[in-house]
């Protein structure tokens, strides 16, 4: 009986590697319909764990740059392609609904959005992955179906007027539904401060 020696070659996204001991090639490339967009890949970053923000101390959590419960306003900071997670199809390292931003109903939400990925990305607060129409007036970055290029920044704001469960997603076609570029966005009738959590 022949014993195969294990061989492992680890590589970054877009490069094939050999599986241990079997000589079978596998690919870590991004989804085929977006592979051409990954011409420029930012350096990998480590995502920090999300913990709920503290209204009492005014401390902020990831995604939440600042908030003022008296004025009923919150400013969110979102970075597309912040880490290598999900082949850079993420917001601050989170994708496929694995993080939640909660804001109180009636608050004004200001979003500062930056794209660090090699692909075009945008932001839409929408009812679902299958319905990317803005859930509130103004709840989308400009030209959401086209998106921002790498290194670009946009700011927009809206009033989270109706309580319910929504998503915060990339509005570029296919990136939410096929690539999983979305997280949860909750407008709460009982919350007294904005928060974010895994």
The secondary structure of 145-184 as a DSSP string is TT-BPTT-EEEEEEE--S-EEEEEE--STTTTTTT--EEE
Bridge partners (DSSP) of residue 140 are 124
- Looking at the structure, do residues 124 and 178 belong to the same domain, yes or no? yes
For 48-85, letters b (16+ CB in 10 Å) and e give eebeebeeeeeebbbbbeebeeeebbbbbbbbbbbbbb
Q: Is residue 44 part of a domain?
A: no
- Looking at the structure, do residues 2 and 91 belong to the same domain, yes or no? no
Helix (H, G, I), strand (E, B) or coil at 122: coil
Tokens of 125: 């607060």
CA distances to 16, 23, 55 from 28, rounded to whole Å, are 6, 16, 42
Confidence (pLDDT) at 69? 97
- Looking at the structure, do residues 12 and 70 belong to the same domain, yes or no? no
Query: Domain span at residue 141?
Result: 64-197
- Looking at the structure, do residues 94 and 144 belong to the same domain, yes or no? yes
CA distances to 8, 83, 127, 171, 179 from 135, rounded to whole Å, are 47, 27, 6, 13, 21
Confidence (pLDDT) at 31? 52
Tokens of 98: 């694995």
- Looking at the structure, do residues 15 and 75 belong to the same domain, yes or no? no
Confidence (pLDDT) at 55? 40
Return per-residue pLDDT of the chain as tens, 198 residues.
Answer: 444 444 333 344 444 443 344 444 444 455 544 544 444 444 444 454 454 443 433 434 689 999 999 999 999 999 999 999 999 999 999 999 999 999 999 999 999 999 999 999 999 999 999 999 999 999 999 999 999 999 999 999 999 999 999 999 999 999 999 999 999 999 999 999 999 998
Q: Is residue 51 part of a domain?
A: no
pTM of the model as a whole: 0.73
What is the rounded distance in angstroms from the CA atom of residue 150 to the CA atom of residue 116?
Answer: 5
Confidence (pLDDT) at 61? 64
Confidence (pLDDT) at 37? 47
Confidence (pLDDT) at 187? 98
- Looking at the structure, do residues 158 and 75 belong to the same domain, yes or no? yes
- Looking at the structure, do residues 87 and 157 belong to the same domain, yes or no? yes
Number of domains in the chain: 2
């Amino acid at each position: 009986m022949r014993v195969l020696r294990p061989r492992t070659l680890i590589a970054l996204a877009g490069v094939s590697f050999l599986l241990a001991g079997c000589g079978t090639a596998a690919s870590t490339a991004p989804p085929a319909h977006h592979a051409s967009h990954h011409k420029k890949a930012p350096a990998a970053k480590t995502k920090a764990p999300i913990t709920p923000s503290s209204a009492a101390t005014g401390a902020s959590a990831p995604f939440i740059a600042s908030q003022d419960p008296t004025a009923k306003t919150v400013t969110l900071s979102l970075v597309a392609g912040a880490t290598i997670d999900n082949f850079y199809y993420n917001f601050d390292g989170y994708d496929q609904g694995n993080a939640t931003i909660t804001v109180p109903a009636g608050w004004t939400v200001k979003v500062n959005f930056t794209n660090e990925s090699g692909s075009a990305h945008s932001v839409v607060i929408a009812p679902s992955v299958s319905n990317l129409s803005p859930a509130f007036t103004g709840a989308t970055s400009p030209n959401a179906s086209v998106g921002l290029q790498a290194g670009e920044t946009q700011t927009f704001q809206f009033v989270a007027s109706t309580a319910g469960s929504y998503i915060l997603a990339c509005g570029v076609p296919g990136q939410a539904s096929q690539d999983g570029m979305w997280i949860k966005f909750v407008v709460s009738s009982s919350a007294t401060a904005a928060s974010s959590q895994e």
